[in-house]
Homo-oligomer: A and B are copies of this chain.
Amino acid sequence: MKHLKVDPIKEGTVIDHIPANRGLQVLSIIKPDNKAVVTMGINFSSKKYGRKDILKIEDRELTASEVNSIALVAPNANVIIIRNFEVVSKTAVQIPDIIKNSARCGNPKCVTNAEESSTRFTTVSRSPVRLRCDYCERTFHIDELKVR
């Protein structure tokens, strides 16, 4: 690609290197309000990964909890914060050892589903992403969990 497919933004957040076709899932984690200016690219060229998705949200920075949820579905993503057209930080997301409330347990009989209560997982592996529910002790591939 000779040039970027999506123009720079003045203020906001860019989430780059989302795995191809995971952009919509990341968008649903961020839940932009209905005034938010968002640009999403799906299946864009990536030197590093072949294909990638990318998301830009103007005038918005993410919470730590949102970044943790994004890490689960896009473990190689970078979160880039832009102020006045300048990159002020670029951080690789990281799956923490303990994940609180970012995902629902995939076991319908787990107590955390019965009570719609808080959840807690321990990271078993990061590539592929596999998490163990601290309540029912079952281990799941990330695609078996609903990330929120």
Contacts and interface: CB of A to CB of B under 8 A. Distances in A.
Interface of A: 3-7, 20-21, 24, 32, 34-44
A42 B36 CA distance: 7
Contacts of A36: 42-43
Contacts of A41: 37-39
A39 B40 contact: yes
A48 B35 CA distance: 17
A21 B33 CA distance: 10
Contacts of A24: 24
A133 to B, nearest CB: 29
A19 to B, nearest CB: 11
Nearest to A32: B42
A36 B21 CA distance: 9
A6 B38 CA distance: 11
Contacts of A34: 20-21, 43
